[in-house]
């Protein structure tokens, strides 16, 4: 994923071999007028580069980082047609697919009417092809393949240091929930996994979509830290999202059922310690995570929620007459006024936070996120439940800057290690953090004296 955009990464030679088509990239900002420079600040879903001159032109800019309501079609395949001036893109939006056809005219790429899939009416593939090879356990690298002889050679490995690292094995895990619905997710086993040993589990509740893409953090860079967690001794499950009941009262229960049935399946397979389960919500799936903590609080020993919505009362008030309000009224069947408030009290997560038992780390990104997360944060604080909020004032929803990613992902790892493994980083720069968390641990034990506790009680400093 480049800069948070989900378009696939491909490199395709033209029929003449004089140009190359690249997807999910950025174009140089130098030597162009201000208007073009502004356009190039966005990710380009598909760009054509002329090898002789180095000239680059964006065929179409990425739509994959937009909101769900804008239908951000994702480019998953691309090819030239009969000539270097003819490009066809295949796009996907959930289960729907479509084709777009572009031609180079008057110095610009323009959409034209076309039918069929990329390459259907094009020239035969060039003998020498450049492809991106990767898999769940194979880091991405560019390879050249001779279509005639079948010989291949690695051209460029952007992450050579990974070859010296030991990584947890990733695979696709399948299970069914109580309604018979089929689920699949990526499962990353801990580094040094031993058969028969049960491990603490972290559920990353968002975004698994490609069974042949190398997994690092997970689908997103905010809060998710799949392989770092696996290196710290955790089993990590990153789930797919269901969309068959979006915007209805069944949306959250469907997802919660999926999480709970996954825990049961992994436990039945002898892989996890069910007393040590953590869960991470990001963006939309904060709604599902909060619902899970309320529905079966004893199942989750710790949780992280980052920059998300929870379809509750505060969200309704904050966003006025926007899409979120219409969506929430559809979920609960009414607005939260007059008699309608009764349905909201029954269904909206914010009115049932007394049921939450899991220590919760909230990651707020930009000032509006603080308001958006305030209902759950303030409610848990007032109930003397263990909760902490960290604030990333200038971050993007899908974090990009290295230090911001580090704060978010390292915070996730340290939070779960503290609550599920009783571990504290000995770095003295983090001593104040652990002093706060030890007090939260005391609070957790006093709130839930009959529940097992793995965190570190207050120490004498």
- Domain range holding 50? 11-126
- C-alpha dist (Å) from residue 313 to 207, 254, 355, 376: 26, 21, 17, 10
- Contact (CB, 8 A) for 186 and 171: yes
221/323 same-domain check: yes
Residue 420's pLDDT is 97
Which residues face 201 on adjacent strands?
235, 277
65/173 same-domain check: no
CATH code of residue 442: 3.40.50.1820
Q: What is the mean pLDDT of residues 56-60?
A: 93
Does residue 445 sit in helix, strand or coil?
Answer: helix
Q: Which of 63, 97, 126 is the last residue of a domain?
A: 126
- Contact (CB, 8 A) for 331 and 344: no
71/192 same-domain check: no
57/186 same-domain check: no
- Total structural domains in the chain? 2
Residue 158 lies in a domain: no
Q: Give residues with Cβ within 8 angstroms of 418, minimum separation 6.
A: 424, 434, 437, 441, 455, 456
Residue 65's pLDDT is 53
- C-alpha dist (Å) from residue 261 to 2, 226, 350, 360: 33, 20, 24, 22
- Contact (CB, 8 A) for 46 and 25: no
Q: What is the mean pLDDT of residues 199-214?
A: 90
Residue 392 lies in a domain: yes
Q: Give residues with Cβ within 8 angstroms of 338, minimum separation 6.
A: none
- Contact (CB, 8 A) for 338 and 358: no
Residue 227 lies in a domain: yes
102/218 same-domain check: no
79/213 same-domain check: no
pLDDT, tens digit, for every residue of 283-321?
Answer: 999 999 999 999 999 999 999 999 999 999 988 888 766
At residue 126 the predicted structure's pLDDT band, cuts being 50, 70 and 90, is low
At residue 143 the predicted structure's pLDDT band, cuts being 50, 70 and 90, is confident
Which residues face 237 on adjacent strands?
187, 203
What rounded mean pLDDT belongs to the chain? 89
Residue 148 lies in a domain: no
Residue 132 lies in a domain: no
Judge whether residue 229 has pLDDT over 90.
yes
DSSP states along 219-278: S-SSS--HHHHHHTT-EEEEEPPP-TTTTSTTHHHHHHHHHHHHHHHHHHTT-EEEEEEE
Residue 119 lies in a domain: yes
Distance between CA atoms of 266 and 86, rounded to whole angstroms?
49
Residue 41's pLDDT is 86
100/216 same-domain check: no
- C-alpha dist (Å) from residue 177 to 42, 61, 94, 261, 289: 40, 39, 21, 5, 17
107/185 same-domain check: no
Q: Which of 126, 141, 176 is the last residue of a domain?
A: 126
Residue 63 lies in a domain: yes
195/294 same-domain check: yes
* Entry pTM: 0.76
């Amino acid at each position: 994923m480049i800069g948070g955009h989900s378009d696939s990464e491909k490199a395709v030679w033209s029929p003449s071999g004089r140009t190359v088509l690249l997807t999910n990239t950025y174009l140089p900002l130098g030597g162009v007028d201000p208007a073009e420079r502004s356009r190039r600040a966005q990710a380009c879903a598909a760009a054509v580069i002329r090898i002789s001159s180095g000239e680059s032109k964006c065929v179409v800019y990425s739509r994959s980082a937009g909101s769900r309501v804008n239908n951000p079609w994702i480019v998953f395949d691309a090819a030239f047609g009969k000539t270097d001036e003819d490009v066809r893109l295949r796009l996907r939006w959930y289960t729907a697919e479509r084709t777009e056809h572009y031609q180079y005219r008057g110095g610009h790429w323009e959409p034209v009417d076309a039918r069929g899939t990329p390459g259907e009416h094009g020239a035969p593939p060039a003998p020498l092809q450049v492809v991106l090879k990767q898999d769940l356990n194979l880091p991405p690298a560019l390879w050249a393949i001779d279509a005639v002889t079948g010989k291949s050679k690695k051209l460029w490995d952007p992450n050579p240091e990974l070859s010296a690292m030991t990584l947890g094995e990733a695979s696709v895990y399948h299970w069914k929930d109580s309604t018979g619905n089929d689920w699949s997710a990526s499962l990353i086993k801990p580094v040094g996994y031993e058969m028969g040993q049960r491990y603490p589990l972290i559920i990353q509740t968002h975004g698994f979509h490609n069974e042949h893409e190398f997994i690092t953090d997970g689908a997103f860079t905010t809060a998710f830290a799949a392989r770092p967690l696996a290196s710290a001794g955790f089993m990590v499950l990153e789930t797919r999202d269901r969309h068959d009941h979006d915007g209805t009262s069944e949306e959250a229960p469907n997802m919660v059922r999926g999480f709970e049935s996954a825990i049961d399946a992994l436990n039945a397979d002898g892989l996890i310690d069910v007393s040590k389960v953590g869960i991470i919500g990001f963006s939309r799936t904060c709604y599902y995570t909060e619902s899970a903590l309320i529905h079966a609080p004893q199942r989750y020993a710790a949780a992280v929620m980052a920059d998300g919505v929870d379809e509750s009362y505060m969200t309704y008030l904050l966003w006025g007459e926007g899409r979120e309000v219409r969506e929430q009224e559809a979920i609960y069947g009414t607005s939260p006024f007059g008699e309608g408030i009764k349905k909201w009290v029954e269904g909206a997560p914010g009115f049932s936070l007394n049921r939450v038992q899991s220590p919760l780390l909230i990651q707020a990104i930009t000032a509006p996120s603080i308001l958006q997360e305030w209902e759950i944060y303030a409610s848990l604080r007032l109930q003397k439940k263990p909760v902490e909020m960290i604030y990333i004032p200038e971050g993007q929803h899908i974090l990009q800057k290295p230090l911001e990613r580090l704060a978010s992902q390292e915070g996730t790892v340290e939070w779960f290690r503290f609550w599920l493994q009783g571990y504290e980083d000995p770095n003295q720069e983090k001593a104040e953090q652990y002093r706060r968390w030890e007090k939260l641990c005391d609070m957790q034990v006093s709130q839930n004296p009959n529940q097992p506790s793995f965190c570190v009680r207050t120490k004498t400093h």
